[in-house]
């Protein structure tokens, strides 16, 4: 029994890394902001039915009486005494109902594409934070690797000191280098925790570790193709297109306000000992104040429509600029990666090997060794950072083109 309990505790202590695709799928199901927009979309479906139907009819009851203080309930005193039951129904100009419905449909489409854009934004941020997490994790591996190198350096310096080949200060400086590495390790571990905490906002669930692999930087081509895809597929642009269409429907409604709304009514009048009678008719509004009402409404809506068109054009330019920026950044990271990988990494390794050999024979001091170690450490750290930056830039291009998954 004790063995079983022990095994269970061991299994519980193991931290399983979450796959990035699994994290994204769970996040899209759990994110409260997405759920809120989905509920809003359902409300638009209900509103579409509401605005496209007639208002409730009005039923009224009234009494006509010229002898209100003398037998008020009797209907036999005068022919003008009646009990009235009325029914009325407002019927707007028929195109108004259809236009209202069309406007709600466009608003629904606008929010639908807004939801898609929000999903793209969440997916991108999950990738961005995960790539930064990968960067920190890889840097920690390098730091731990060089902590072992630093320990060997301390042991070797102590050996040289014991035979009088180096001073005590050189042993001390080797220990300082090891302490600096430990300090960097602590900062990276705290950064790791911060990234996972930040990731919770987008996922709405806790993540202990992330399983992810990044592609090596490569040269991107086809900038114009990326721009064309963005102008065609970007959900934020699609949302604005629907917003413009909704404003056009609103302008139609403003112009339809010049047309009257009709109210048809009928009244049945009951008279005791006299013949009953029925009244019916129609009332409608006249746009006599159109200069101050309808005209101004049309002007206001037209200006707002033009404003949305200008905003759409501005958004187009912004997305083009963002794609170009990410595209050129990605290629810049690729060029830097080549320099660090093919030239600087080889050179710093060669320098370090040469310095350590000279240190063994006493022609170089500990400062030269630590300097060589820091150089190779910085190059390896930079390679990790460049790789993360390239992948983030590429994911941003995918987000802007509406293809991030």
Q: Are residues 25 and 45 in the same domain?
A: yes
Residue-level pLDDT at 76: 59
Task: Specify if 34 maps to a domain.
Answer: yes
Whether the pLDDT of residue 185 is over 60: the answer is yes
Mean pLDDT of 379-393: 95
Task: Specify if 107 maps to a domain.
Answer: no
| Token duo for residue 35 | 């759920």
Residue-level pLDDT at 291: 86
Whether the pLDDT of residue 14 is over 60: the answer is no
Round the CA-based radius of gyration of the chain to a whole number and report it.
38
| Token duo for residue 351 | 């320098």
Residue-level pLDDT at 30: 86
DSSP state of 87: E
Task: Specify if 10 maps to a domain.
Answer: no
Domain that residue 61 falls in = 55-91+259-288
What's the rounded Cα separation, in Å, for the pair 198 and 325?
Answer: 25
Q: Are residues 210 and 166 in the same domain?
A: yes
Task: Specify if 8 maps to a domain.
Answer: no
Residue-level pLDDT at 188: 95
Domain boundary among 242, 273, 288: 288
Which residue has better confidence, 13 or 262?
262
Q: Look up the CATH number of the domain holding residue 229.
A: 1.20.1600.10
Whether the pLDDT of residue 152 is over 60: the answer is yes
Residue-level pLDDT at 124: 95
Query: Looking at 45-54, 116-125, 181-190, 227-236, which range is the least confident one?
Result: 45-54
Residue-level pLDDT at 11: 38
Whether the pLDDT of residue 6 is over 90: the answer is no
Query: Looking at 6-10, 320-324, 375-379, which range is the least confident one?
Result: 6-10
Q: Are residues 359 and 386 in the same domain?
A: yes
Q: Are residues 139 and 264 in the same domain?
A: no
Whether the pLDDT of residue 360 is over 70: the answer is yes
Q: Are residues 207 and 301 in the same domain?
A: yes
Residue-level pLDDT at 77: 59
Torsion of CA 45, 51, 52, 57, to 10 degrees: 130
Q: Are residues 128 and 85 in the same domain?
A: no
150: pLDDT confidence band, cut at 50, 70 and 90?
confident
Tens of pLDDT along 58-79?
999 887 776 655 665 555 556 7
Whether the pLDDT of residue 9 is over 70: the answer is no
Whether the pLDDT of residue 362 is over 80: the answer is no
Mean pLDDT of 359-363: 73
Residue-level pLDDT at 72: 59
Which residue has better confidence, 392 or 270?
392
Q: Are residues 173 and 276 in the same domain?
A: no
Task: Specify if 41 maps to a domain.
Answer: yes
Say which residue the tokens 């830039």 belong to.
393
Q: How far is CA 345 from CA 9, 45, 146, 368, in A?
A: 44, 60, 15, 18
Task: Specify if 104 maps to a domain.
Answer: no
What's the rounded Cα separation, in Å, for the pair 44 and 373?
Answer: 63
Q: Are residues 117 and 26 in the same domain?
A: yes
Q: Are residues 46 and 128 in the same domain?
A: yes
Task: Specify if 3 maps to a domain.
Answer: no
Query: Looking at 87-96, 268-277, 311-320, 369-378, which range is the least confident one?
Result: 268-277
Q: Are residues 299 and 365 in the same domain?
A: yes
Q: Quote the number of domains for the chain.
A: 2
| Chain centre distance of CA 303 | 29
Q: Are residues 36 and 62 in the same domain?
A: no
Query: Looking at 67-71, 119-123, 278-282, 351-355, which range is the least confident one?
Result: 67-71
Q: Are residues 44 and 61 in the same domain?
A: no
Task: Specify if 12 maps to a domain.
Answer: no
Torsion-angle region of residue 271: left (phi > 0), alpha (psi -120 to 50) or beta? beta
């Amino acid at each position: 029994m004790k063995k079983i309990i022990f095994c269970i505790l061991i299994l519980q202590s193991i931290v399983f890394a979450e796959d990035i695709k699994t994290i994204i799928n769970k996040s899209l199901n759990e994110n409260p902001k997405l759920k809120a927009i989905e509920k809003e979309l359902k409300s638009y479906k209900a509103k579409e039915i509401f605005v496209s139907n007639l208002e409730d009819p009005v039923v009224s009851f009234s009494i006509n009486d010229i002898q209100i203080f003398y037998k008020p309930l009797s209907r036999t005193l005068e022919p003008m005494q009646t009990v009235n039951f009325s029914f009325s129904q407002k019927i707007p100009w028929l195109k108004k109902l259809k236009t209202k419905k069309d406007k709600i449909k466009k608003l629904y489409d606008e929010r639908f594409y807004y939801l898609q854009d929000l999903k793209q934004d969440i997916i991108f941020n999950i990738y961005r934070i995960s790539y930064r997490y990968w960067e920190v994790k890889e840097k920690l591996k390098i730091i731990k690797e060089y902590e072992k190198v630093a320990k060997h350096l301390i042991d070797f310096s102590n050996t040289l000191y014991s035979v009088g080949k180096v001073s005590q200060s050189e042993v001390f400086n080797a220990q300082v280098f090891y302490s600096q590495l430990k300090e960097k390790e602590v900062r990276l571990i705290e950064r790791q925790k911060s990234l996972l905490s930040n990731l919770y906002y987008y996922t709405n669930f806790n993540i202990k570790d992330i399983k992810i692999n990044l592609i090596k930087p490569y040269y991107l081509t086809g900038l114009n193709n990326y721009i064309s895809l963005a102008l065609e597929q970007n959900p934020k642009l699609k949302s604005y297109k629907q917003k413009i269409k909704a404003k056009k429907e609103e302008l139609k409604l403003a112009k339809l306000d010049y047309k009257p709304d009709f109210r048809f009514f009928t009244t049945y009048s009951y008279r005791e000992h006299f013949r009953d009678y029925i009244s019916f008719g129609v009332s409608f509004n006249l746009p006599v104040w159109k200069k101050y009402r309808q005209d101004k409404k049309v002007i206001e809506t037209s200006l707002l429509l033009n404003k949305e068109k200008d905003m759409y054009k501005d958004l187009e330019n912004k997305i083009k600029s963002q794609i170009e920026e990410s595209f050129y950044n990605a290629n810049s990271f690729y060029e830097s990666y080549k320099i660090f990988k093919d030239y600087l990494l080889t050179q710093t390794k060669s320098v370090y090997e040469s310095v350590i050999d000279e240190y063994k024979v006493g022609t170089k001091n500990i400062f030269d060794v630590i300097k060589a170690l820091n150089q190779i450490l910085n190059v390896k750290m930079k390679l990790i950072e460049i790789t993360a930056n390239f992948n983030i830039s590429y994911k941003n291009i995918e987000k802007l083109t509406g293809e991030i998954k």
